[in-house]
Structure 1
Amino acid sequence: MTTQTAIAPQRAGQPGAAPTDRVNAVEARGIVKHFGETRALDGVDLTVRQGTVLGVLGPNGAGKTTLIRILSTLITPDAGTAVVGGYDVLRQPKQLRRTIGLTGQYASVDELLSGAENLYLIGRLLDLSAKQAKARAAELLERFSLTEAAGRPAKTYSGGMRRRLDLAASMIGRPRVLYLDEPTTGLDPRTRNEVWAEVQRMVAEGATVLLTTQYMEEAEQLASDLTVIDRGRVIANGTVADLKAQVGGRTLRVRPGDPAELPAMVRALAESGLPGGYADPDGQLAVPLTDEAQLTAVIGVLGTRGFAVAAIDTAVPSLDEVFLALTGQQSASTEETAR
């Protein structure tokens, strides 16, 4: 049975419904969690604005999943406070669970039931009528390209199909706050795009999403804001643009007409009082820029020294480069590119 079977939706206007005018859907302050002598979370602060996607980035073991488990009431923190959808994680766990959906890192579906039966059962447990549960199950089976396999037992599904079914299960009750813990790990590009489209659709309808991921492309595609966690601590917050600016501005990249002249180009800049240039892995001269005058000066030096230039380009750092600079570790997408 999926985690979602224990979570039921709370509609605005129902008895005990949380306030609907909150600016922040999730607020966590000073969250600490120990596992034995390991300090998995070390005073984490987190804010997720209502109706947005917050991407939580971090290397393996950073504490991302532990944070999700605390915010979904699966484990309790050793210190700190958290409010989700207007409900206190420690004092109002039952009410909180009625506002959230959760998909963990590993698919967990009832293998003896068919895909359609899994979703129908969860829909009924989420207080949908039989007609509503059947309709919602059919809708999500189609969105995740599972319609043809809807009548087959889940144990016959491939790993990717089970993952898609698990994602559909987390969305069937249209939760106000949805936790997605590395939801597209192991999925093919087409299925990943389907998941992204569904997340964007839910946010457009007013849902709030907390997404943990190691895929920088996924974070850029979906997240309004980013939080980077490493060794149980928040080390950076902001939009994609904010984090790129924090790491550094634009980089000038110059491709030599003669690759053998690249070391001489680096020396020429240093001798002219323009240090910081280096040869990048693609065989280009890379120069971090602080302003437009520096760009002009670099081009001037290369021209004066008579270097032939094949191409010139400027670019802000990629989110992969930002992640590497902040954590000193490769993201999953960087590792895939390297393989």
Structure 2
Amino acid sequence: MTQMYDPASVSNSAPHTLSEDDVQGVDHLREAYSRLREELGRVIVGQRDVIELLAVCLFARGHSLLMGVPGLAKTLLVSKLAETMSLRFSRIQFTPDLMPMDITGTDILQDTGDGRRTFEFVHGPVFANVVLADEINRAPPKTQAAMLEAMQEGRVTAVGKTFTLDAPFLVLATQNPVEQEGTYPLPEAQLDRFMFLIELDYPSSEQEEIDIARSTTGDALPTLDHLMDAAEIIRHQDLVRRIPVPDHIYTYAARLVRRTRPNHPDAPEWLKPLVAWGAGPRAVQNLILGAKARAALNGSYMVRLEDVEEVAAPVLTHRVITTFAAQAEGLDAKSVVRRLVEEADTDR
């Protein structure tokens, strides 16, 4: 069996180093991220891992799927993230009768005031910096496609015209894992456009449940401080792209993704009957970008293996399609990815 990762078999050439200005930028981003966690902690109880993944996604210029049962404060978390970042927030409730123009906007006939009438384009809710696409799988594919064009291209097409969306632009789409009746599941090709699948779980302790009840049944929630603006976020996004990545990290990420493909020679034997379809090249890109953003948020001037390992599950889980045999054994894509990462640690 091909080894997952062998440092002796890859190049150890050092990547470029950050400039002095970029080093200061990483220090500033680390401090800003620390303040972000403190601010969100004033209204969000727990969910520290989720907050980190949302921040990674924002500064890596990605988009995420949020998976969790109702009542886990997904909308509150996303809206407060936008508030602390001084970004315009918009929420779209996806329903079976939602049309593409309800997302993008459309031409409206308006009076000009001098007795004439003209068509004026009225922007839809997608024209925001942070868009919460609530229960995206409840809308038909045509409407989903309008949202996905905005995610991929950073623009929308409506009534024959193209409109560019303002940066930064972050889409967070939710899905309810409990009720699937009457839904339109996203095809694998569209799922691949999401950088992360972020799973929200129930509160981890009884005390967290009590704290949630105390904070939400009293006075109005506090107004959070504005930590940065859109221009500063864009500068940090550019900085994340410049974070150095050693050669062996690229090799590690590529080999990890290639081992998710059941027909590939590097795939372990145990995986082949469990996985129908593995991750594509976009997964390698997102592993590297996610690792870069995580490294910068934690004050590291270079990507480390632990950064890749921490983003492996959210990057790969929705890209690995399991078989009926896996489901019969009670195994899901997340457990498959976890085992692959554990084997990678053993092979190092």
Give me the TM-score of the superposition, normalised by structure 2: 0.35
Q: Which structure would you say has the larger Rg?
A: 1
Give me the TM-score of the superposition, normalised by structure 1: 0.36
Determine which structure has greater relative contact order: mean sequence separation of CA pairs < 8 Å that are 6+ residues apart, divided by chain length: 2
Higher helix share: 2
Higher strand share: 1
